[in-house]
Amino acid sequence: MDSKTVHKIYEKLHRSIPDAQTELVYENHFQLLIAVILSAQATDKSVNAVTSALFGDHPTPEALLALGETKLRNSIQTIGLAPTKAKNIIKTCSILLEKFEGQVPGNREALESLPGVGRKTANVVLNEGFGEPTIAVDTHVYRLANRTGLAPGRNVLETEKKLLEVTPKKWLKQAHHFLILHGRYVCKAKNYLCSNCVISRECEFSEKQM
């Protein structure tokens, strides 16, 4: 896909969702981190349903650590992988307090040293929380990037690197939000809505359907 087409894709996505932003509800870096950890293999809607009460009663690393793993697990049981996530979150809270004075670090290496934080989670926190030009590749972004021909890759890391390479600088900070929302609601895994897609003319997949 040539650079002119890539630019058109981002321009059209921007016009379609000009206020694109995360659908996770949070008030600070810590709450963002915990929400993103919880969102693995879960919907943002299901995470928000849990964190509304959780953050209201336990808004800090100290408070969540005091809650304990068992009670935390019970609080998030409606979200997938609750036992593992509860264990990782409690460990993360402990590390944040011991090594980072209770603050979420703003660099990749430190973030990825936290339990439950992989590359995708770190990218979300760096982009959403610290304004870094990172692109988190989840299932929606990976599917869209490959299906459209925007940034085909054999795995998420290849796709991420390709997206960072082809995305115009002016869109780097917003690209993640454009792509994930378009993939979540339009370029879906099944029942994809090509007839309602603003980038159907630029999409290589859409061309094949004609």
Query: Which of 12, 85, 138, 162 is the catalytic position?
Result: 138
Query: Which of 8, 57, 99, 120 is the catalytic position?
Result: 120
- Can you give the pLDDT at residue 207? 52
- What is d(CA 201, CA 194) in angstroms, rounded to the nearest whole number? 10
108-153 pLDDT, tens per residue?
Answer: 999 999 999 999 999 999 999 999 999 999 999 999 999 999 999 9
φ/ψ (deg, to 5) at 175: -55, -45
- Can you give the pLDDT at residue 208? 55
- Can you give the pLDDT at residue 205? 86
Name the residue among 52, 62, 124, 57 with its Cα closest to residue 93: 62
3-20+134-209 is a CATH 1.10.730.10 domain: no
pTM above 0.85, yes or no: yes
CATH architecture of the domain covering 29-130: Orthogonal Bundle (1.10)
Mean of pLDDT values over 178-197: 93
Burial class (CB in 10 A: 0-12, 13-18, 19+), 16: middle
Burial class (CB in 10 A: 0-12, 13-18, 19+), 19: exposed
Respond yes or no: is residue 120 known to be catalytic.
Answer: yes
Mean of pLDDT values over 82-93: 97
- What is d(CA 86, CA 38) in angstroms, rounded to the nearest whole number? 9
- Can you give the pLDDT at residue 69? 97
Respond yes or no: is residue 44 known to be catalytic.
Answer: no
- Can you give the pLDDT at residue 156? 95
For CA atoms 25, 26, 27, 28, give the dihedral sign. Answer: negative
3-61 pLDDT, tens per residue?
Answer: 999 999 999 999 999 999 999 999 999 999 999 999 999 999 999 999 999 999 999 99
The answer on pLDDT for 210 being more than 50 is no
Q: Which residue type does 23 have?
A: E
Sorted by where each begins, the domain ranges of the chain are 3-20+134-209, 29-130
